[in-house]
Amino acid sequence: MIIYKTNEQVEQMRQSALLVSKTLTEVAKMLRPGLTTVSLDKMIGEFIRDHKAIPSFLNYRGYPFNSCLSVNDVVVHGFPNKNDLKEGDIISVDIGVILNGWNGDHAYTFAIGDPGKEVMQLIKVTKESLYLGIEKAIAGNRIGDISFAIQDHTEKKYGYGVVRELVGHGLGRSMHEDPQVPNFGKRGTGPKMKEGLTLAIEPMINLGKKDVYTEDDGWTVRTKDGKPSVHFEHDVCVRKNKADILSDYSMIEKAEKANTNLFTA
Q: What is the mean pLDDT of residues 14-29?
A: 98
Q: SS3 sequence, 8-32? A: HHHHHHHHHHHHHHHHHHHHHHHCC
- pLDDT tens digits for 178-214? 999 999 999 999 999 999 999 999 999 999 999 999 9
The pLDDT assigned to 248 comes to 98
Cα gap 91→85, rounded to integer Å: 9
- pLDDT at position 265 is 79
Closest to 222 (Cα-Cα) out of 38, 70, 84: 70
pLDDT tens, residue by residue, 65-84: 999 999 999 999 999 999 99
Q: How confident is the model at residue 37, as a pLDDT?
A: 98
User: Is the confidence at residue 157, as pLDDT, over 90?
Assistant: yes
CA-CA distance, 65 to 62, in Å (whole number)?
A: 9
Please name which of 230, 226, 225 lies closest in space to residue 204, comparing C-alpha atoms: 230
Cα–Cα distance measured from residue 205 to residue 125, given in angstroms and rounded to the nearest whole number? 9
| pLDDT at residue 252, rounded to an integer | 98
pLDDT for 207-263, tens place per residue? 999 999 999 999 999 999 999 999 999 999 999 999 999 999 999 999 999 999 999
**pLDDT tens-digit map of 86-131:** 999 999 999 999 999 999 999 999 999 999 999 999 999 999 999 9
Full-model pTM: 0.98
If phi > 0 it is left, if psi is from -120 to 50 it is alpha, else beta; for residue 116 that is left
